[in-house]
């Protein structure tokens, strides 16, 4: 596992906040984080916030605290996804694509099975 990197944390926190489409005042009310802290995070300034703030950000934006702190490249909070990423050496995006492909494959196989049952019942 990587070590904590303040610059990666600052970049990731700022990106989450800036891309959220929310006003800082809205985030302040939802996350219970001061306007000063949110402004500092948005602008990549100030010190690293306390653990409670880091956890609130990670939970709200549905990212792992390890990813937010720059200690992992896996954003997902899903345990199975994290394990697959670690085992296969894939990104969480690659794992999500594989899961979607499996889901589509399962649906196609189900449809083919139903079609076969209908076809054989007509005969």
Shared-domain flag, residues 54 and 86: no
**How long a stretch of residues is the chain?**
123
Q: What is the pTM of this model?
A: 0.73
Q: What is the pLDDT of residue 88?
A: 82
Q: What is the pLDDT of residue 1?
A: 64
50 domain residue, yes or no: yes
1 domain residue, yes or no: no
74 domain residue, yes or no: no
For the chain, list residues with pLDDT below 70.
1, 104, 123
Q: What is the pLDDT of residue 3?
A: 79
Shared-domain flag, residues 55 and 93: no
40 domain residue, yes or no: yes
Total domains, the chain: 2
Q: What is the pLDDT of residue 123?
A: 64
Shared-domain flag, residues 47 and 100: no
73 domain residue, yes or no: no
Closest CA to 69 of 4, 123, 23: 4
Shared-domain flag, residues 48 and 84: no
Range(s) of the domain holding residue 51 = 6-68
Shared-domain flag, residues 29 and 54: yes
Q: What is the pLDDT of residue 92?
A: 85
Shared-domain flag, residues 39 and 84: no
Distance CA 120, CA 123 (A): 5
SS3 state of residue 7: helix
Distance CA 100, CA 98 (A): 5
Shared-domain flag, residues 83 and 64: no
87 domain residue, yes or no: yes
């Amino acid at each position: 596992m990587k070590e904590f990197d303040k610059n990666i944390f600052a970049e990731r926190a700022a990106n989450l906040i800036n891309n959220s489409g929310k006003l800082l005042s809205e985030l302040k009310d939802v996350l219970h984080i001061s306007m000063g802290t949110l402004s500092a995070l948005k602008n990549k300034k100030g010190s690293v916030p306390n653990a409670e703030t880091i956890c609130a950000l990670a939970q709200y934006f549905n990212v792992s605290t390890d990813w937010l702190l720059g200690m992992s490249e896996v954003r997902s909070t899903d345990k199975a996804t994290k394990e697959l990423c670690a085992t296969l050496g894939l990104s969480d995006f690659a794992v999500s694509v594989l899961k979607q492909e499996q889901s589509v494959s399962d649906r196609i196989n189900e449809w083919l099975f139903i079609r076969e049952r209908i076809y054989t019942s007509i005969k």
